[in-house]
Amino acid sequence: MKTAGKISISHTLVQKLGIVVEPLITVRVGALMVKSRLQVHDTGRGNYMLSPELIQALHLKKSKGLKVRYQAEEKILHLGPTIGIMATYIPSPNRYEIDPRSLHAELIYLSIVSKSFPGQVYVFTPSGINWANNTCRGYVYHQFSATRGKWESALYPIPDVVYDRIHSRSAEARNSVKYAKIRLMQMPYLNYFNPHYLNKWNVHQIMAANPRLTEYLPDTRELTQDNLEEMLRKYHTLFIKPSNGSLGKGIIKVSSHRGQFNYVIYRNRRLRGQARSAAELMNKTKKFRGDRHYIVQQGLELIKYRGASFDLRIIYQKNGRGEWQISKKFCRIAPRGSSISNLSSGGRVEKSLKVLQHAFENSNLIETKNEQIRLLCKMVAGTLETDNNSTFGELGMDIGIDRNGRLYLIEVNSKPRKTTETVFSPAIVRSTFKRPLAYASYLAGFKIK
């Protein structure tokens, strides 16, 4: 370990943290550790000061606004948190060139809100990591005006916590990304959250193993001709969905009509067709499905809002105490004639209270539903985490309500989009971006309100 510079810590702080006073102390920022001369001063305040050499050795960009904790067992003084947001590339700096609903807009917004945060927060890509010296090229957004700004790059320590914002399954499957992820996860003090996309079949099996969740799950099988045949006998409508799909793409909806099966394929345009048997249906959709894994699911008779299907989207996040909470809840309403409410497939957002009032009228009933929704989210997140061995800091839950008022879990997303342009107040939007950072601080061992 490198030895550099000097750190001067007040007597008060030494006592508060229980620091063992020796000539040298190990100071850690993210994955960087440096031994430094320790001096105790007597100003009576709970502060500390680093010499310029130490600041440089730790690649600190700011010497104020960092929190401090002591890892007593290892006698390490930890300054931080250092939070790295992993992406696959750094977007264009000019916001007017960017779709406000894109991931790029999210990254810029995240970087802006992170400034009011204790510690150091930066965006990085796998190629920016220097494994040889535990540093990483990080980017922070500097805003000049509402639409213009620039990314400033600097060398930081590999972070305490990685918030994975890899934006697609194909990016996630790249070797460079897989390699970086595995190596980061193996680092001794590093925490990594939202590590991967979820697979619908996988999630269904995990949820189905929890008896308390059975009543919330639509009947779901792997797509095979036999399963399809059985499901066609049991249900009037079916949803056939790619296990690794998202954005409503690749879904096939089937409805029975007088012994005939009408289907709609949701791709850029909707394609319609007919079949007389499961075998024919399999055959006719084969080319479209390709070699993707599919599930077949009971079609829910969802309640409607002004004639249109809708579902609830819940942004479920962990806070600075590591506890789950609902950050945002809204309804996504399918476009006319469509059964799919994804915003990217033409769905629109409406406040949930407005839609639920329309559906239930009675305010006690709405409160009961909301309570049930909270409980369902909690069970789903808990079940996912105990089974998965992965850490999640945010989830997007798609919940449907059927005509009998029953709740169903349609899908769980591990990388929910959090657009900066919504019907919600700016304060709510800001808090949904800040909360994962608060959770990251918690994972790093620092408490943040």
Contacts of 400 (CB under 8 A, 6+ apart): 300, 302, 311, 312, 407, 408, 410
Instruction: Give the interface segment with Mg ion, choosing from 32-40, 63-71, 176-184, 403-411 (CB under 5 A).
Output: 403-411
Nearer to Mg ion, 85 or 340 (CB): 340
241 forms part of the interface with ligand ADP (CB under 6 A):
yes
Strand partners, 329: 314
Binder to ligand ADP among 126, 128, 138, 248 (CB under 6 A)?
A: 248
Candidates 106, 160, 350, 411: give the one binding ligand ADP (CB under 6 A): 411
Of 106, 164, 311, 394, the one binding ligand ADP (CB under 6 A) is 311
Name the residue whose CB lies closest to Mg ion: 411
Q: Which stretch binds Mg ion (CB under 5 A): 107-115, 374-382, 391-399, 429-437?
A: 391-399
398 binds Mg ion (CB under 5 A): yes
- By the 8 A CB rule, do 274 and 262 touch? yes
Contact between 267 and 260 (Cβ < 8 Å): no
Of 160, 164, 311, 411, which lies in the binding site for Mg ion, with binding defined by CB under 5 A? Answer: 411
Binding partner at 34 among Mg ion, ligand ADP, none, C-beta below 5 to 8 Å by kind? none
Which of the stretches 42-50, 180-188, 245-253, 348-356 binds ligand ADP when contact is defined by CB under 6 A? 245-253
Q: Closest distance between Mg ion and the C-beta of residue 74, in Å?
A: 44
Q: What are phi and psi of 405, to 5 degrees?
A: 80, 10
What is the footprint of ligand ADP within residues 316-335 (CB under 6 A)? 334
Helices (H) then strands (E): counts for the chain: 11, 25
Please select the residue that binds ligand ADP; options are 5, 138, 195, 299, rule is CB under 6 A.
299
| Bridge partner residues of 317 (DSSP) | 325, 394
394 binds Mg ion (CB under 5 A): no
Does position 311 interact with Mg ion (CB under 5 A)? The reply is: no
* Count of other CB atoms within 10 angstroms of residue 251: 21
**Residues 370-409: x/- map of binding to ligand ADP (CB under 6 A)?**
----------------------------x-x---------
Nearer residue to Mg ion within complex by CB, 37 or 270: 270
d(CA 242, CA 251) in angstroms, rounded, equals 7
- Neighbour-count burial of 259, counting CB atoms closer than 10 A to its CB (0-12 exposed, 13-18 middle, 19+ buried): exposed
**Cβ count within 10 A of residue 310:** 26
Answer whether 27's CB lies under 8 Å from 34's CB: yes
Q: Among 40, 27, 115, which residue's Cα sits nearest to residue 74?
A: 27
CA distance readout (Å), 166 to 112, 339, 417: 19, 29, 12
List binders of ligand ADP among 215-234 (CB under 6 A).
218
Is residue 20 close enough to count as binding ligand ADP by CB under 6 A? Answer: no
Give the DSSP H/E element, type plus range, for residue 430: helix 426-444
Binding mask 122-151 for ligand ADP (x = CB under 6 A): ------------------------------
Q: Which one, of 219, 243, 228, 221, lies nearest residue 293 by Cα?
A: 243
* Dihedral sign, Cα of residue 222, residue 225, residue 231, residue 237: positive
Q: What is the closest distance, in whole angstroms, from the C-beta atom of residue 183 to ligand ADP in the complex?
A: 30
Binding residues for ligand ADP, total number by CB under 6 A? 23
Residues interacting with Mg ion, by CB under 5 A? Answer: 398, 411
Residues interacting with ligand ADP, by CB under 6 A? Answer: 218, 239, 241, 245-248, 297-300, 302, 309, 311, 334, 339-342, 398, 400, 410-411
